[in-house]
Amino acid sequence: MDSTGQAPNMNRSSLTRFAWLSIAAAILTIGLKTAAYLITGSVGLLSDALESLVNLVGAIMALAMLTIAARPADGDHAYGHSKAEYFSSGVEGTLILLAAISIAVTAIPRLLHPQPLEQVGLGLAVSVAAALVNLGVALVLLRAAKLHQSITLKANAHHLLTDVWTSVGVVIGVGAVVLTGWQRLDPVVALIVAGNIVWSGFHIVRDSVAGLMDTSLPPEELKVVRNILEQLSGQHGIECHDLRTRQAGHSRFVSLHVLVPGMWTIDRGHELAERIESDIRSALRDVEVITHLESLDDPISTSNRAPESVDVRPAERREKARDENKP
């Protein structure tokens, strides 16, 4: 029995406006940071400008994937297109790592052969303005990502926040050069910023891979499902097993077997299955629930449990099964 989640796909097409906002911010900050680099000659500010170029590519990718993810299910994609968001976040994370490499490649020669900076005050003012633009857009994207549960917007927001931290680090580095006169501080700060970016990019790529590999729902959501099943099991004298979950972008999928007394009518079993599906849909957003009815009186029902599924049988049943399986 299938049930669709609460938020229809067509509403998610509006998320592309956040991608357009990110694209506009990237174009603006590229111009500002490039101007700051040309004014000062700081390799730190150049690295900052390069990362904003990567932001632009990531934002364009986010726009494309959000457009695809908003498409409804069709004959070739019965579960919808929400997994497209993982491609965007994966690319975004990879681009962050490439930005870190480009920063390091630019900074190392300047570390070996330092050069004086020019018109630092004006250059830093321009860089700070660009950082404020990125910070404002990143906060908007984070709020939208949480509201709409979009990993694409989340990755894009974290990318922009990474850019903000890059700008902060660069400003500190350039300011330190002015105060101390030590020219090598500029590329040193750039390398430190690159290391921080690598850490951020790694986490984004890891989350994307986990989504593409059909990782189960997070523990707190899995606990919600288990509590619902345990409560209904106690009320109706039934059992549930073979609980499997996965998440694809904003969409969640839950499947399980429901074991009812053999004397129950089909109508009664179906009514209970619908109750289970309804309760889970009420507790979680964008969830599709699949239930399979079985008889408690049929030995096959309890012997064909998938070993990789979550065991949601009552504690006494689990302990009894463990005792029976002991050699």
The pLDDT of residue 115 is 65
The pLDDT of residue 248 is 75
As a whole number of angstroms, the distance between CA 215 and CA 271 comes to: 30
| Mean pLDDT confidence for 175-191 | 76
Q: What residues make up the domain containing 321?
A: 219-325
The pLDDT of residue 269 is 92
Query: Above pLDDT 70, what percent of the chain?
Result: 83
Task: Please report which confidence band the pLDDT of residue 1 belongs to, taking 50, 70 and 90 as the band edges.
Answer: very low
Per the structure, the count of domains in the chain is 2
pLDDT at 276 over 90: yes
134 and 234 fall within a common domain: no
Q: Which residue has the tokens 């059992």?
A: 239
Report helix, strand or coil for 294. Answer: strand
The pLDDT of residue 6 is 40
| Mean pLDDT confidence for 249-274 | 90
99 and 127 fall within a common domain: yes
Query: Above pLDDT 90, what percent of the chain?
Result: 17
As a whole number of angstroms, the distance between CA 176 and CA 185 comes to: 7
The pLDDT of residue 135 is 92
As a whole number of angstroms, the distance between CA 148 and CA 142 comes to: 10
- Segment 188-207, tens digit of pLDDT: 877 877 777 787 778 778 87
Mean pLDDT of the chain: 78
As a whole number of angstroms, the distance between CA 250 and CA 291 comes to: 21
DSSP of 224-265, one letter per residue? HHHHHHHHHHHHHT-EEEEEEEEEETTEEEEEEEEEE-TTS-
94 and 193 fall within a common domain: yes
Of the two residues 1 and 271, the one the predictor is more confident about is 271
Q: Which residue has the tokens 């590999």?
A: 213
254 and 182 fall within a common domain: no
Highest mean pLDDT, choosing among 7-21, 27-41, 301-315: 27-41
Residues 6+ apart with CB under 8 A from 213: none
Which class for 77: exposed (0-12), middle (13-18), buried (19 or more C-beta within 10 A)? Answer: middle
Q: Which of 147, 177, 212 is the last residue of a domain?
A: 212
Strand bridging mode 2-3 / 239-248: unpaired
Window from 43-52, 79-88, 155-164, 241-250 with minimum mean pLDDT: 43-52
| Mean pLDDT confidence for 9-31 | 81
As a whole number of angstroms, the distance between CA 185 and CA 60 comes to: 34
Q: Which H or E element spans position 319?
A: helix 315-325
| Mean pLDDT confidence for 287-306 | 79
The pLDDT of residue 47 is 67
| Mean pLDDT confidence for 314-327 | 52
184 and 235 fall within a common domain: no
The pLDDT of residue 303 is 63
127 and 84 fall within a common domain: yes
In angstroms, what CA-CA distances link 189 with 111, 138, 180? 10, 23, 14
42 and 154 fall within a common domain: yes
Window from 1-5, 72-76, 165-169, 276-280 with minimum mean pLDDT: 1-5
Window from 72-81, 113-122, 133-142 with minimum mean pLDDT: 113-122
245 and 173 fall within a common domain: no
**Start-end of H helices in 70-184:** 84-112, 120-148, 151-180
How many CB atoms neighbour CB 266 within 10 A? 8
CATH number of 275's domain: 3.30.70.1350
The pLDDT of residue 9 is 42
Task: Please report which confidence band the pLDDT of residue 282 belongs to, taking 50, 70 and 90 as the band edges.
Answer: very high
124 and 182 fall within a common domain: yes
The alpha carbons of the chain give a radius of gyration, in whole angstroms, of 26
In 3D, which of 125, 138, 166 has the Cα closest to residue 40?
A: 125
Q: Which of 212, 232, 259 is the last residue of a domain?
A: 212
31 and 121 fall within a common domain: yes
Q: Which of 165, 192, 212 is the last residue of a domain?
A: 212
137 and 175 fall within a common domain: yes
User: Starting from the edge strand earliest in sequence, which strands make up the sheet with 239-248, in order?
Assistant: 2-3, 287-295, 251-260, 239-248
192 and 223 fall within a common domain: no
CATH number of 95's domain: 1.20.1510.10
